[in-house]
Structure 1
Amino acid sequence: MSEKPNQQNPKKGEPWKPKEKFDKKANKEKQKQEQEQGEGKQETNQPPQQQNKQPIQQQTVDQQPTQQQVPTNDKQVAQTNASKEQNKRKDFLSHLPIFEDYTSVSIKTVKQIDPLTLHHAFIELCIQYQNGQCIGSTHRCVEFLNALKQFIRDYKLSRQSNYFAMAFLDELKKIFNLMKNFRTVNEGMSTSYLFIRECLMILRDTRLDENESKVWLCNQIDQFIQSKIISASELIVKNATQLIQEGTTILVYARSYLIENFIINYFKQGKQLTIFVVDNPQFGEGSQLVNRLQQQGIPCYQILLSHVSYILSKVDKILVGASSMLCNGALVSRVGTALLACLASTHKIPFLVFCESYKFSEKSQIDSLSWNEIAQLEQGNENQQYTSLSLRYDITQSNYINMIVTEVGLIPATSVKAVIGEFKKYNYVDAIEVPRKEQ
């Protein structure tokens, strides 16, 4: 009488746990019976054998999976834990973009690109971004503006109308979003984009035809390059020449457009400096600067970033370039700059930043992971659960920066926000000369 309720309980559907326990015990008994059958042992009681014939036959068919699952449960748990750790790493850096390598053919497969309207100048520029031929924030911004000028000259309205500004403003937005697929847009390019957009908004209220609008817009781009890049670099070199005395021992990290021009101009004046060029072997920009200085006949010493601490006792000043200066006074530059800033603070060496004002940003961040760019990402083998990660930029806090050398003068890091406010009043460059409506 006691067995009938036990047989009726599974039919009621509620007791799942007893059913799981019963299955586990049954599986253990089945495994024992299979082992005994393999050794040639047979039990004398036939009724239990008849009851277990069908389960045993099913088990022999599925014998290999069950034998693998039982001993590999611990491994599966370890693999799931490892996969969770990998997912955490991916989630930890999932907001950072990873860029693919494109060719002139495959570049047209990007979703944001229309192959019929994509200009050849931007195809070449995007390939240069991928191949590393166009590096440095200044170089990338100048090439972007030059490609944009070529596109403006070749651009034609789809319909016969005088609304060139509105039509080209839509094309400008598409181009700017296109560049984000190949490299992270730096602050110099963002400032130039805002300036051109402001010019198009002014051009919208005029009566210029298509050709006159193209000429005026290209002239404004030339003015931006001349005012914010070329003339600004000349003033920065002049201010730095007055700041650094002859015979000073300077330490330079990687290759910066401004610092390179400053060193070459300094030696052309007949003055001498002792130069240590620090190189990061991951990118090799320091070797490029050394080759450039040797072509000019300028002696220098090259050292790796890992050996910097051995020569800091001989260094008087540390000079670095900048990708951008943030609103809170933090410096965004190539990875390794923050390490030099910490060492300079420890050894009480002046840490100077060379930066044009058009690279000043209204953004504010305190770490290097909220915004960055992955230079290289390699996954380990199946047996090796690791990820090789290389970032391109890092953040240097304002308290490590002694001075910023700009075209407006020598300013502290806390004055970045004030400079941004002044330039916004003048449309980022100067008061834009509005074309006459009679034209």
Structure 2
Amino acid sequence: RELTKEEKQRLRKEKKQQKKNKEKKEDKAPQDNVKEKPATSPATAPQPPTQTPQQKGYYNNRLKIGFRLPEHVQVDNPEVLKKLAKKLERQQIPLRSDYGYKVSLFSHLHQYSRKAPLTQQLSIPSTVIHPAIVRLGLQYSQGIVAGSNARSVALLHAFKQVIRDYTTPPNEELSRDLVNKLKPYISFLNQCRPLSASMGNAIKYIKKEISNIPSQCKDKEAKEKLLNCIDCYIDEKIILAAKAIAKYAIEKISDGDVILVYGCSSLVNNILCEAFEKNRKFRVIVALRRLVQKGISCTYVLISAVSYMLPEVSKVFLGAHALLANGYVMSRVGTSQIALVAKAFNVPVLVCCETYKFCERVQTDSFVSNELDDPDDLIVTRKGKTQLEHWQDVPFLGLLNLVYDVTPPDFVDLVITDLGMIPCTSVPVVLRVKNVDM
């Protein structure tokens, strides 16, 4: 007897069901074996646990961290170096080579020598770099222009010269072409010496002002507007800000104070000179020759002897390279040690910093993002002779010359800015207000 259509369909369904049941049993069998037997062989070893979406996202973010770091702190990454070399080649800028053996902990940072400036590899007649920028880059690399304020002012003056000499090409807009023109200049300066936080903020301001220029604006009028904007920035953010900070800081200096300063901050130097001119009677420890010339009583000590001098210190005044968004203070290396010892002796630490040095970067250590200076600076002696004269010829010998360190907000009692006296925790508020104003 032949099967009817309905019977044939029922048989097909039964076969399919049997096949599915068989596959399910085969899938369950290995899992049961794994549960019953311990992992004694590779065949019966338990599979690694599957990652949750949250874990996958975490590991992916960890892998992407490198892409968020700037190029100058990924020197040990060959892919990043390759991309940087291609970018500089397009901009017709030579890639500066590192100097000497680097300490492994800081192998991700550039280490340059002043004996080999970038201009040695630059053909001046054929270069696209403006002469004012070439001169400025050389001054940065040789340490002639140093200090965040001096470097920012010099950068702005160089950009003023670039703007004066600029002419908009035909069929181009000034607001677009000038920004593109500045890109190789900034790359060149970054190769000479990594840009400071204050310089980065100044560059952002200039780019914003350039992009705000309307397309129908004539060249002469646009250039005058930009030059006025740069002059206003220097006056308001640097010169007048320093005067406002000095006004607030003098209120904290009393007669008979013993003030400890560290390094050669132009802002702190200006505050002490103005306080002395207003007949405040105080003494300074860790002296600068300029303060002695002004007639201020000074005592010079090495950083290793600061703990012996702190019992007689009443206040500590420190300068800053930058104030970070998490309240940490980035300043010349050794500042965090001064602040730490002052905290141990319950001496108030006051940091003087202009608001244009506030940046949105977050940093809690001095390892990831820093700057290495010329290691030869550590071996220079008065007579010029030293046992480490040919240190670079000794294999695996490295000299570490760090430029900055980071001080936690716990060690800083007050930040004196041009907006007034604030705690370190108020830095994000200032940044938010600044962004709204821009």
Superposition TM-score, scaled by structure 1 size: 0.70
Over 3 Å counting, the alpha-carbon distance change for 1:370 and 1:104 in structure 2 is: closer
Q: Following TM superposition, by how much is the alpha carbon of 1:168 offset from its aligned partner in structure 2, in angstroms? A: 0.3
Find the aligned partners of 2:180 and 2:410 in 1 and give their Cα distance: 42
1:416 aligned partner:
427
- What's the counterpart of residue 147 of structure 2? 136
* CA-to-aligned-CA distance 1:187-240 (integer Å, 9 cap, x gap): 11111111111111111x342111111111111111111111011111000000
What secondary structure does 1:96 align onto?
coil
Seen in structure 2, the aligned counterparts of structure 1 residues 219 and 382 have a Cα distance that, compared at 3 Å, is closer
Q: Take 1:114 and 1:422, find their aligned partners in 2: how far apart are those partners?
A: 45
Using the TM superposition, name which of 88-97 and 128-137 deviates more.
Answer: 88-97
CA distance in 1, matches of 2:175, 2:200: 19
1:263 is the counterpart of 2:269: no
Q: Please tell me whether the aligned partners of residues 333 and 395 of structure 1 are also in contact (alpha carbons under 8 angstroms).
A: yes
Per-residue deviation at 1:114? 8.9
Alignment of 1:108 with 2:119, yes or no, is no
Q: Give, as a single letter, the amino acid of the residue that structure 1 aligns with 2:256.
A: G
Distance 1:384 1:310, change over 3 A: farther
Q: How does 1:122-201 map to 2 (within 5 A)?
A: 122-157=133-168, 159-161=169-171, 163-201=173-211
Aligned pair in 2 of structure 1 residues 383, 224: CA closer, same or farther (>3 Å)? closer
The one of 215, 229, 236 aligned to 2:245: 236
Task: Give the structure with higher Rg (CA).
Answer: 1
Structure 2 gaps, min length 5: 1-100, 377-389
The reply on whether 1:273 has 2:282 as its aligned counterpart is: yes
Deviations 1:323-352 (A, max 9, x none): 000000001000000111110111111011
Q: Which amino acid in 2 is paired with 1:394? A: D
Matched with 1:364 is: 362
Letter in 2 for 1:341: A
Counterparts of residues 278-427 of structure 1 (less than 5 Å)? 290-377=288-375, 380=391, 385-427=396-438
CA contact (8 A) 2:253 2:280 kept: no
Q: 1:98, 1:183 → 2: CA distance?
A: 10
CA distance in 2, matches of 1:197, 1:238: 32
How far apart are residue 155 of structure 1 and its match?
1.5
Shift of 1:420: 0.4
TM-score, normalised with respect to structure 2: 0.70
What is the alpha-carbon distance in structure 1 between the residues aligned to residue 160 and residue 102 of structure 2?
Answer: 42
Three-state SS of the structure 2 residue aligned to 1:369 is coil
Q: SS where residue 368 of structure 2 aligns? A: coil
Match of 1:17 in 2: none
Distance 1:155 1:100 in 2: 33
2:268 maps to amino acid: I
Matches of 1:207 and 1:91 in 2, distance apart? Answer: 54
What amino acid maps onto 2:358 in structure 1? Answer: F
Secondary structure at 1:124's aligned position in 2? helix
Matched with 2:105 is 92
CA contact (8 A) 1:121 1:147 kept: yes
Deviation at 1:115, TM superposition (A): 3.9
Q: How does 1:61-100 map to 2 (within 5 A)?
A: 92-100=105-113
Of 360-369 and 89-98, more deviation after overlay is shown by: 89-98
Give 3-state SS (helix, strand or coil) of 1:97's partner.
Answer: coil
How far did residue 382 of structure 1 move?
6.6
| Corresponding position of 1:225 | 234
Check the 8 A contact 1:233/1:258 in 2, yes or no: yes
CA separation in 2, counterparts of 1:381 and 1:106?
A: 21
Name the CA shift for 1:382/1:211 in 2 (closer, same or farther; >3 Å): closer
Contact 1:351 1:400 in 2 (8 A): yes
| Larger mean Cα displacement after TM superposition, 395-404 or 97-106 | 97-106
Aligned partner of residue 261 in structure 2, secondary structure: strand
1:246 is displaced (CA, Å) by: 2.0
1:306 Cα deviation after fit: 1.2
What is the RMSD computed on CA atoms of the aligned residues? Answer: 2.2
Asked if 2 retains the 8 angstrom alpha-carbon contact of 1:236 and 1:405, the reply is yes
Aligned counterparts of 2:328 and 2:236: Cα–Cα separation in 1: 25
Q: Which letter maps to 1:346?
A: A
Would the alpha carbon gap of residues 135 and 333 (structure 1) be closer, same or farther in structure 2, given more than 3 Å must change?
same
CA contact (8 A) 1:100 1:182 kept: no
Q: Percent identity?
A: 32
**Deviation sequence 1:225-275 (CA, Å, 0-9, x none):** 111101111100000011221221100001111111111111111221111
Distance of 2:368 and 2:103 partners within structure 1:
14
The letter of the residue matching 1:119 is H
Q: 1:90 to 1:343 in 2, by over 3 A?
A: closer
Which amino acid is 2:181 matched to? E
